[in-house]
Structure 1
Amino acid sequence: MTIDDHLDTRPSDQELQRLLSGKTPEPSFAHLVRMSDDTGLFEHARGPIPKRWHGYCVDDVTRGLIVVCREPEPSEQLVRLAEVYLAFLLHAQDRERGFHNRMGLDRVWHDEPETGEWWGRGVWALGTAANRGPTPWIRAVALERFDDGAKLRAGLGPQSRLNHAMAYAALGAAEVAEAHPGHPAALSVLADAAVTIGRPGPDPAWPWPEPRLEYGDAALPEALIAAGQHIGDEALLRDGLALLEWLLTLSTRERHLSPTPAGGWSPGDPRPAYHQQPIEAAAYADACARAYAVTRDRKWLTGVRMSIDWFLGVNDSGIPLIDKATGGGYDGLGLDWRNPNQGAESTIALISTLQHARWLDRIPTVAT
Structure 2
Amino acid sequence: MTTTRDRPGDGHRRTAERAAPAPSFTHLARLSDDTGLFEHARHAIVRREHGYCTDDVARGLLVTSREPEPSAQVLGLAECYLAFLTHAQDTLGAFHNRLGHDRRWADQPGLGDWWGRALWGLGTAAARHPAAWIRAEALVAFSLGAGRRSAAPHAMAFAGLGAAEVLRRHPGHAAAAALLDDAASAVGPAGPDPRWPWPQQRLSYASAALAEVVIAAGQLRGDASLIAAGLRMLTWLREVQMFNGRLSVVPAGGWRCDGPRPRHDQQPIEVAALADAFVTAAAVTGDPAWEIGLGQAVGWFLGDNDLGMVMWDPATGGGYDGLTTHGPNLNQGAESTLALISTLQHARRWS
> Shared fold by TM > 0.5?
yes
Tell me the distance in 2 between the aligned counterparts of 1:30 and 1:11: 24
- For 1:248 and 1:222, locate their aligned partners in 2 and report how far apart those are by CA, in whole Å: 12
Among 107, 111, 123, the alignment partner of 2:107 is 111
Q: Does 1:254 align with 2:236?
A: no
C-alpha deviation, 1:5, in angstroms: 6.0
What's the counterpart of residue 169 of structure 1? Answer: 159
What's the CA shift for 1:215? Answer: 1.0
Which residue does 1:150 correspond to in 2?
A: 146
Counterpart CA distance in 2 for 1:125 and 1:244 is 22
CA distance in 1, matches of 2:215, 2:31: 33
- Structure 2 equivalent of residue 77 of structure 1: 73
CA distance in 2 between counterparts of 1:15 and 1:105 reads 34
Q: 2:301 aligns with which of 306, 311, 314?
A: 311
Alignment of 1:226 onto 2:216? yes
Aligned position for 1:125: 121
**Match for residue 359 of structure 1?**
349
TM-score between both structures, scaled by the size of structure 2: 0.96
Q: Distance in 2 between matches of 1:176 and 1:6?
A: 46
Task: Specify the SS of the correspondent of 1:127.
Answer: helix
Cα distance in structure 2, aligned partners of 1:205 and 1:22: 35
* Deviation (angstroms), 1:352: 0.3
Maintained 8 Å contact 1:279/1:349: yes
Q: Which residue of 1 aligns with 2:327?
A: 337
Q: Is the 1:251–1:257 contact (alpha carbons within 8 Å) kept by the matching residues of 2? A: yes
Q: 2:318 aligns with which of 309, 328, 338?
A: 328
**Is 1:208 equivalent to 2:198 in the alignment?**
yes
Q: 1:98 to 1:11 in 2, by over 3 A?
A: same
Structure 1 residue aligned with 2:136, among 136, 140, 143? 140
Give the Cα–Cα distance (whole angstroms) in 2 for the partners of residues 180 and 330 of structure 1: 37
Map 1:48-87 onto structure 2 (within 5 A): 48-87=44-83
1:173-207 alpha-carbon deviations (Å, 9 max, x no partner): 01000101132111111110111111212211111
Q: Does 2:181 match 1:191?
A: yes
Asked whether the equivalents of residues 322 and 330 of structure 1 are also in contact (C-alpha less than 8 Å), the reply is yes
1:36-64 superposed Cα distances (whole Å, 9 cap, x missing partner): 00000000001000001111000000000
Alpha-carbon separation, structure 1, partners of 2:9 and 2:84 = 38
Shift of 1:317: 1.3
Q: Is the 8 A contact 1:11 1:320 kept in 2?
A: no
Where does residue 46 of structure 1 map in the other structure?
42
After TM superposition, give the deviation of residue 132 of structure 1 in Å. 1.0
* Per-residue Cα deviation, 1:311-354 (whole angstroms, up to 9, x for no partner): 11111111111100000000010122211100000000000001
C-alpha deviation, 1:97, in angstroms = 5.6
Report the counterpart of residue 365 of structure 1 in structure 2.
none
Is contact 2:39–2:56 with CA below 8 Å preserved after alignment?
yes
Distance in structure 1 (CA, Å) of the matches to 2:140 and 2:94: 15
Q: 1:127 corresponds to which letter in structure 2?
A: G
Residue from 9, 24, 41 that aligns with 2:7: 9
| Cα contact 2:44–2:318 (8 A) shared by 1 | yes
SS in 1 for 2:13: helix
Among residues 255, 260, 273, which one is paired with 1:265 in the alignment?
A: 255
Tell me the equivalent position of 1:88.
Answer: 84
Look up the equivalent residue of 1:85 and give its one-letter code.
Y
Letter in 2 for 1:58: T
Hey, what's the Cα distance between the residues in 2 that align with 1:336 and 1:193?
38
* Distance of 2:93 and 2:221 partners within structure 1: 28
Matched residue type, 1:67 = V
Gaps of 5+ in 1: 362-368
Matched, 1:99 2:95: yes
Q: Is the CA contact (8 Å cut-off) linking 1:9 and 1:319 kept in structure 2?
A: no
Return the letter of the residue paired with 2:7: T
Unaligned runs of 5+ in 2: none
Whether the 8 Å contact between 2:319 and 2:336 is mirrored in structure 1 is: yes
Give the length in aligned residue pairs.
Answer: 351
- Contact between 1:10 and 1:336, CA under 8 Å: does it hold in 2? no
| Structure 2 letter corresponding to 1:225 | I
What is the alpha-carbon distance in structure 2 between the residues aligned to residue 253 and residue 5 of structure 1?
A: 24
1:232, distance to aligned residue in structure 2 (A):
1.3
After superposition, the Cα gap between the structure-2 partners of 1:7 and 1:82, relative to the gap in structure 1 and judged at 3 Å, is farther
CA RMSD of aligned residues (A): 1.5
Q: Which amino acid aligns with 1:337?
A: G
